Structure 1
């Protein structure tokens, strides 16, 4: 009887983890997506009605978000992916207990929505990874989930489910767990991990419908100019992504003594300066750099709108300042917008007959994302799933690999793994 009771309890805990956990991830991801879209629309309406409002709202908003994060939700700063990587790689529970919890989940949701409400150049996808890992972390030390390896499996499944639910990209979720979250460990894509991704994805599908993030792209690439297009997009996009990673890592670790002292002693003042910088960039681009950058990115993929030539660099700087400030928010969606801007520039420089505009934009988006994350497989799969561009699989794959190699020359250490060390040092 005792053995039967133990087995029954183990089955209950396993069922709760692999069914209840992904249900919660899917529901929270959908709630975050819905709320983020709503506050982004409110932000656009407000800034459209009061053109200079960002000069007041962004500095004050960054200060408020930084204060709340540091005071009540320490561990929610930035994307959330570095915190998840740190928790997966660390074997000592005490060292990472402040990075994944229900408190962190609540704070991450609130602060990400707040960041988008004030116009920060952030995304919700990275935060959803930390949210998913935090939810699955609840089941650690319950039933059969007692050792470090079981804990790691829970966190990997939660992070993968977060990406899958955020973008409606189940394949990219699995590849993200394999390529990014488990660089130092062998990822076992067992039935439990797959069930977590599938169930969370089904919740998103049931509530939001079957959709692709950027619609269906008709981009196509002729192979007579395809190789050179791939090389150009891969080299330029990868180098741009490497520069962003190098700058963000430098801002986190390698700032001058005077600047580092200022950030450490006056974090709220530094956040205000970052907010002011984003506001000025927004005014210079007619508010285009605020938020995720979804609308201008979709317009460029559909060839349905034109953007100023400086959109890409302005969005890169706005995302860099938002990430440096210490507020919660990811870089996935803004990175896609930066890549689209850089791709738009490349399309303008190349001959009209060289390659279609939408194809160059699509390839450069994958290249820039690969350059930032140094996860080429995730980059090309996520672009393929988000734009329904299965016919562009080989060009996307080749471009992402080239971009990752170019990024490594500029920023040898992958961004998320460099930042994960920062969170371990802050414990």
Structure 2
């Protein structure tokens, strides 16, 4: 029952995100300057909802899931995974997408899928910490499988990203949950590719320089994003840190205002998931955008993340990679076919940010239909992960998960109860 619910939730979230994108497109067309007013107010309002009614929904939701998996306690974690969390996540995510925040629904689906499975913890014989961990793990992985229509990527995500501190045990129930959720999505929407399709092939031996360059560029930029988000509250002067901590609504409003300005300067291309610009870039034989699209999307996504509004990073991250790849093809038009560079940098940037190279190349391969580039994608993501580690040693999601881990005092209390 739960895997079917996750599959239906994934399809519903994808449809709702498309609807929100349509509303945002209409707003941009008719009231483009209105973003200077409603985005700052909207960012601040979402932070208010998060703090006042739905604590635990901020950001993508993946760090919260990791924190629950890594918690050795047997107690139920309703503060991070619950029906209330699902409701708050959906409401604020749709608000953000309608406004044009540079966010996606994939990360939130991980928290939603984990919340659905976590709901069954404590019933019958499902009462141990290990059983809770496997429920949450399978639910989070199923969320990725359902939202991207990619069962294999869901399994790899569970193995590589969600269980860095624990050895992944391929229990039949875990694999079955991921597979069923993915097949529910396939049955409803068909075997589609999220960002379009390309039949571009890239002979590995003759394009090693291009693969290496794309991997290095993706690793550098992805690692930089991870470093800024992780160290933002540390590298700032103390007065600015205190101002942000004491005035979170004003800071969120400022982030919203800058995203709105970026949107006006790029004719709305940086808003939302980046689905349409990415698809146009991927399916084109030549560079489509000005050189500044990739950096502008990078900044819009960074500000949306720093503001702590609920929203995922997978789709915007892939869009940033596509923009950077588009700019790279402008600089080096004879480096490799345009679509190949786009796909390579998409995968490399995602790997540089998450430090999960296998998940990155499988997700990119499945959502672009580029199975013929498997070896090139794998190489680029491995290079990107190594480059990113030099810039930012701590893995992105696991570093953020520490903010949700219980204090030592809480853990001692749990052990004595």
With the length of structure 1 as denominator, give the TM-score of the two structures.
0.92
Structure 1's unaligned 5+ residue stretches are 1-19
> Is contact 2:204–2:376 with CA below 8 Å preserved after alignment?
no
Residues 399/295 of structure 1: CA separation in 2 closer, same or farther (3 Å cut)? same
Question: Structure 1 residues 253 and 144 mapped into 2: Cα distance closer, same or farther (>3 Å)?
Answer: farther
Cα separation, 1, equivalents of 2:401 and 2:77: 11
The equivalent of 1:231 in structure 2 is 212
CA contact (8 A) 1:238 1:371 kept: yes
From 276, 289, 293, the equivalent of 1:307 is: 289
Q: CA deviation at 1:253?
A: 5.0
Please report how far the alpha carbon of residue 224 of structure 1 lies from its aligned counterpart in structure 2 after TM superposition. 4.9
* Cα deviation, residue 313, structure 1: 0.7
- C-alpha distance in 1, partners of 2:392/2:357? 15
Match of 2:415 in 1: none
Equivalent residue number for residue 326 of structure 1: 308
Deviation at 1:95, TM superposition (A): 8.8
- The structure 2 residue matched to 1:424, chosen from 373, 387, 405, is 405
- 2:18 matched to which residue of 1? 37
Show the counterpart of 1:246: 227
Partner of 1:287: 268
1-structure distance, mates of 2:273, 2:333: 30
- Change in Cα spacing, 1:143 to 1:425, as seen in structure 2 (3 Å) is closer
Q: Partner of 1:380 in structure 2?
A: 361
Query: What residue is the counterpart of 2:64 in the other structure?
Result: 83
Q: Residue 318 of structure 2 contacts residue 346 of structure 2 at CA under 8 Å; is this kept in 1?
A: yes
Helix, strand or coil: the match of 2:405?
Answer: helix
Post-superposition Cα deviations, 1:43-100, rounded to whole Å, max 9, x if no partner, equal: 1111111221110111111011111111100000001000000010012355943111
1:62 paired with 2:12, answer no
Separation of aligned partners in 1, 2:52 and 2:72? 27
Residue number in structure 2 paired with 1:409: 390
Partner of 2:82: 101
Kindly state the Cα deviation for residue 125 of structure 1 after the two structures are TM-superposed.
0.3
TM-superposed CA distance for 1:284, in Å, is 1.0
Matches within 5 A, 1:1-12: none
Cα deviations across residues 379-403 of structure 1 (Å, max 9, x unaligned)?
Answer: 0001111111111000000000000
Secondary structure of 1:341's partner?
helix
Gap change, CA 1:135 and 1:253, over 3 Å in 2? farther
How do residues 259-298 of structure 1 correspond to structure 2 at under 5 angstroms? Answer: 259-298=240-279
- CA shift, 1:210, in A, is 2.0
Aligned 8 A contact 2:344 2:380 in 1: yes
2:166 is equivalent to residue 171 of structure 1: no
Tell whether 2:129 aligns with 1:148: yes
Equivalent in the alignment of 1:344: 326
The question of 1:200 aligning with 2:204 is answered no
CA distance in 1, matches of 2:354, 2:140: 15
Question: Distance in 1 between the 2:13 and 2:151 partners?
Answer: 18
Partner of 2:27: 46
Q: Is the 8 A contact 1:102 1:134 kept in 2?
A: yes
Q: Which moved more, 1:360-369 or 1:249-258?
A: 249-258
The alpha carbon displacement at 1:254 in A equals 4.6
Cα distance in 1 for partners of 2:396, 2:9 equals 26
Q: Relative to structure 2, which stretch is displaced further, 25-34 or 239-248?
A: 25-34
Q: What TM-score, normalized to structure 2?
A: 0.95
Deviates more, 1:408-417 or 1:44-53: 44-53
Q: RMSD between aligned alpha carbons?
A: 1.5
Report the Cα offset of residue 259 of structure 1: 2.1
How far apart, in 1, do the equivalents of 2:11 and 2:76 lie?
A: 30
State the shift of 1:223 in Å: 3.6
Supply the distance in 2 between the matched residues of 1:96 and 1:306 (Cα, whole angstroms).
46
Provide the C-alpha distance between the structure 2 equivalents of 1:208 and 1:376, rounded to a whole number of angstroms. Answer: 28
Q: Secondary structure at the match of 2:201?
A: coil
